[in-house]
Structure 1
Amino acid sequence: MTTRLLLVRHGETEWHAENRYAGVTDVALTSRGVAQAQDLRAWAVRSGVDAVACSPLSRARLTAGPAAAALGLELEVQEGLREVDFGWGEGRTIQEMADEDPEAVRRFREDADSGAFPGSEPVHRAAARSTASLRDLADRHQRQRVLVVAHNTLLRIALCGLLGLPLGRYRRIFPRLDNGAVTEIEIGGTQTALRSLNVPPAPFPALAPAPAPDPSPAGDRHP
């Protein structure tokens, strides 16, 4: 028996313009991020989604919440889907870090696991918790389609973990996931198949407007 997981990066946040690393930090969604949540809502209603799960960070909750509400589903909050803590890099741009310690940035770009930022969560630990969370969702929702809203780095690491790819190379294997785009995987037992990658939700005629979520704490963009 298999489960389809529809992995989505949360909507755009206020730190996107400056490209700051926001792991455990909550920053507000932009108006575009709120609109992306509404687009995801419309897509989910028309795509046969059976369950909705998300990271506990508010940017993910605000993106997933409209879809869950429109489908009449409880939002399943998964602690294991929280974004990576970037430690020394949290809240900073890559240029700011390179200006202070270019060697640290070089090591990170070469291998994000062995060259992780000082004080950050190890990549292998993020992989273990995220893949465990996704496998748990797959086990509990067999033969269903589950919308999962989480984060750019966390989802790329999880994809590498599930597909047996080098964890420290996640940035090169999957350069980025776009806000609101859907990556579909199929999990059956110990096997995982990648069905699509970083696909914008297909456009549909607009649903009746839903109340916009309060774009308070919620955000990240990072390379």
Structure 2
Amino acid sequence: MTSRLLLVRHGETEWHAENRYAGVTDVALTPRGVAQAAGLGGWAVKSGVHAIACSPLSRARLTASPAAEALGLAVEVQEGLREVDFGWGEGRTVEEMAEEDPEAVRRFREDAASGAFPGSEPVARAAARATAALRDLADRHPGGRVLVVAHNTLLRIALCELLGLPLGRYRRIFPRLDNGAVTEIEIRGTETALRSLNVPTAPPPGPAPGPSPAGD
């Protein structure tokens, strides 16, 4: 039986303005991020959502909360949906890293798997835990529509793994997932299909921010 997973990147955080890699650091939502979460809640009510799961990080929990309250559902917190640990890159901008070690940044931009930041979680490991969590949700909600709130890098890596695309090129294949937008996949047994990408759930709340970092 086919299950549909509605993958959502959490709302905007306080580090977006500086384009810092949040990774596993718990960073608060901005007022815009809170509004994005509320918009997602309203969208979920009209979208036939049967279950909700999220990362254990607070920015994902807070983004999932309005939808859970509106639908009267408990949120399934999944450790496998936690964002990638960026090691040396945690809390830093690309410019700061490039000033310290431009070669490390060049390797990362060339291939995000083989050139991952020092001390970071291996991309293949992140892909394995993320896809295991998503497949588990699909198996436990056959024929359902599951809202999954997680993170920019983790979800892009998972999409590559599920669709048979090179993990090291996730940044080029999926340049970014927008905050609060929905990317829908369909899982049927071992097969995965991408149904939509970055579909907004509500009009942008307030002025649009600048480019957000690749990993938060």
TM-score (norm. length: structure 2)? 0.94
For 1:64 and 1:139, how far apart are their aligned partners in 2?
21
Letter aligned with residue 182 of structure 1: V
Letter aligned with residue 161 of structure 1: E
1:48-59 paired onto structure 2 within 5 Å: 48-59=48-59
Cα offset, 1:66, TM superposition: 0.9
Structure 1 stretches of 4+ moved >4 Å: none
For the pair 1:162 / 2:195, whether they are aligned, the reply is no
Letter aligned with residue 89 of structure 2: G
For 1:9 and 1:202, how far apart are their aligned partners in 2?
14
For 2:46 and 2:118, how far apart are their aligned partners in 1?
44
1:65-144 paired onto structure 2 within 5 Å: 65-144=65-144
For 1:46 and 1:132, how far apart are their aligned partners in 2?
28
Unaligned runs of 5+ in 1: 204-220
For 2:145 and 2:61, how far apart are their aligned partners in 1?
18
For 2:136 and 2:62, how far apart are their aligned partners in 1?
22
For 2:158 and 2:118, how far apart are their aligned partners in 1?
21
Cα pair 2:36 2:202 within 8 Å, conserved: no
Letter aligned with residue 139 of structure 2: D
1:157-196 paired onto structure 2 within 5 Å: 157-196=157-196
TM-score (norm. length: structure 1)? 0.91
Q: For 2:66, what is the secondary structure of its paired residue? A: helix
For 2:202 and 2:186, how far apart are their aligned partners in 1?
20
Q: Deviations over 1:71-114 (max 9, x none)?
A: 01110000000000000000000000001100000000000110
Cα pair 2:6 2:185 within 8 Å, conserved: yes
Q: Deviations over 1:16-48 (max 9, x none)?
A: 000000111011100000000000000000111
Cα offset, 1:222, TM superposition: 1.9
Q: For 1:36, what is the secondary structure of its paired residue? A: helix
RCO (CA 8 Å, sep 6+): is it higher in 1 or 2? 1
Letter aligned with residue 36 of structure 2: Q
Cα pair 2:39 2:202 within 8 Å, conserved: no
Query: How many residues are matched?
Result: 206
For 2:140 and 2:28, how far apart are their aligned partners in 1?
32
For 1:2 and 1:69, how far apart are their aligned partners in 2?
26
Unaligned runs of 5+ in 2: 204-211
Percent of aligned pairs sharing the same letter: 85
For 1:76 and 1:93, how far apart are their aligned partners in 2?
32
State the match for 2:213 in structure 1. 222
Letter aligned with residue 108 of structure 1: F
Q: Deviations over 1:46-87 (max 9, x none)?
A: 111000000000000000011011101110000000000000
